[in-house]
A and B are shown apart, each in its own frame.
Chain A
Amino acid sequence: MDIKTHGDVKVVTLLARIDASNAKDVESLLQDLMNNGSRKIVCDFSANTYVSSAGLRGFLVTLKAMNKLGGRIVLCSLNPFVQEVFDMAGFSQLFSICENVEQALAQLQSVN
């Protein structure tokens, strides 16, 4: 997965599909970023077209960890079907979800 750095923010471009066969990879990658000190992460879904409940776990775990660490995770560029998955899971109310990376970065830079 592609990771770009914008100041103190890491922008991760997620895989096309996240399901039970690779969800752990996504979770590990996000965990590694936090372990290495990242406190602002953007998950860019622009290359992603599918997330199952197995895939949601990594985002929830990261959100909980960031809440404890005083960090932030923002999601962006969800396609309508992936948005539907987040809506059905009740995750849309838990996560900051933006239209695109620019908006996500703006959100993270406006926080203390």
Chain B
Amino acid sequence: MESNVSLRLKNDVSELNRLSDAVEEFGHIHRLPPKAIFELNLALDEIITNIISYGYSDEAEHDIYIDFNFDLEQLIVSITDDGVAFDPFTLMPPDLDMPAEEREVGGLGFHFVRTVMNKVEYIRDKNCNVLTLYKNIAGLEGIGE
């Protein structure tokens, strides 16, 4: 692996700006195309927001860890939290064809994650949820510019 960066966030939506800055910087250093940076930011935002909103049964402060790994072929990002056991694959995917009156935004976050990433894996490791995202980088338009 060419690079390894770790980020520790608190379970608070005020941390989303710091996440965005970290992703921009990581993307800039590795010369990822703007679209890939946007999509990575979006995917991580959605996951972190879900963890913050639903992941804890207490009011305490918790740490969420994001590890970025990058080689020339792919980006591998893992998100680890110590919240309640939650497998996002058990979420109902949103029905995108319903008329406006019946649409909700629930489930869209993880749907975005699965759409912009090439592969997503979930495991429960001891008392942590670990979500791993894979995005192919080789061959993306604009890579290395």
Contacts and interface: CB of A to CB of B under 8 A. Distances in A.
Q: Do A and B come from one complex?
A: yes
Interface of A: 17, 19-21, 50, 52-54, 56-57, 60, 63-64, 67, 80-81, 84-85, 88-90, 94
B81 interface: no
Interface residues on chain B, size class? 20 to 34
A89 B109 CA distance: 9
Interface stretch (B64-72, B98-106, B119-127, B134-142): B98-106
Contacts of B53: 20
Contacts of A50: 20, 38, 41-42
Interface stretch (B1-9, B10-18, B82-90): B10-18
A81 B38 contact: yes
Interface in B10-40: 13-14, 16-17, 20, 34-35, 38
Return the 4 tightest CB-CB contacts between A and B, nearest first.
A90-B96, A53-B108, A21-B13, A20-B49
B100 A60 contact: yes
A73 to B, nearest CB: 11
26 contacts: A17-B20, A19-B16, A19-B49, A20-B49, A50-B20, A52-B42, A52-B46, A52-B112, A53-B109, A56-B105, A57-B105, A60-B105, A64-B101, A67-B100, A67-B101, A81-B35, A84-B35, A84-B38, A85-B42, A88-B116, A89-B96, A89-B105, A89-B111, A89-B112, A90-B96, A90-B103
B49 A89 contact: no
B92 to A, nearest CB: 15
B128 interface: no
B94 interface: yes
By secondary structure, the A interface counts as: helix
B49 A54 contact: yes
A90 B94 contact: yes
A84 B101 CA distance: 22
Contacts of B38: 50, 81, 84
Given A60-B100, A67-B100, A85 B49 contact: no
Nearest to A17: B20
B97 A90 contact: yes
B111 A94 contact: no
Given A20-B16, A56-B105, A63 B42 contact: no
Most buried by B among A52, A60, A64: A52
